[in-house]
Structure 1
């Protein structure tokens, strides 16, 4: 890789902002068409020297900073020179830009937090509605399966007992029938002395 190429992270570190701030700046600045300044290797985007200059310029651009200063009610008429050093102005503008970026991110985070809280309340409300519906269904007191099984079990036992009685009666009748048949059977003459 050429030494001239840098990642967005490296550029962000040099400027002193986050990677997200660099990406937001690129999206906001219509003058930066990143495609002409970048190459991609794997998932990493590398920016050439011209792209790096464009990004640095965007962060130090006085007009975009002034728009943001007005939006955030910063007084542009105050002399911002540091000890009469005009280079200090660039540093102050950069810091103001950084502060405004952080304020913007903070507002976005507040919006997300509000949305999350609203969703949590909605979830809680739905959960309470489900709980009340479940309690209403329980209140209907539908016959439990256990009671039904006991009823079926008792019915089955009664039927089995009745069948056992019938079987015992039949067995008794069969025994009685065999005894009667044995008694009525004519005896052979040779079997008379055996008894």
Structure 2
């Protein structure tokens, strides 16, 4: 492939714009004849040197007009700021108002952080209480089970004793 040909992607990277922007510029501008400056190999479109120059000039013209418009806006803003002492007073008042609002927001933020900390402490206390209650309930259930086991053991031994005595009594008859 010739070194003079570039793809749409290479040209867009060089100009710092998207590939779609280059395509739209080619399609919209009637001064560029698409077939005259491009060749297609497979799915890739290549642009020759003349087409590259034409596309670059279109983008550079657009960028230079945008820069001029920005400079004009900056000049207009500078002219507006030279109005006089009335505007300075207004801006001072505005700054003071913003500072007071900022102080209020800091107070609210501090309050919110304190409340969040209190909530966290309460949650920790509740968690420990729940753990203690669970431990008590498990301990009480273990104690109940042990007492039930003891009772059943006592009943069993009583039953065995009574059954032995009956059997012994029968032998004696």
How would you bin the TM-score normalised by the shorter chain? 0.3 to 0.5
Asked which structure has the greater CA Rg, the reply is: 1
TM-score scaled by structure 2? Answer: 0.45
TM-score scaled by structure 1? Answer: 0.41
Compare the two structures and name the one with the higher helix fraction: 2
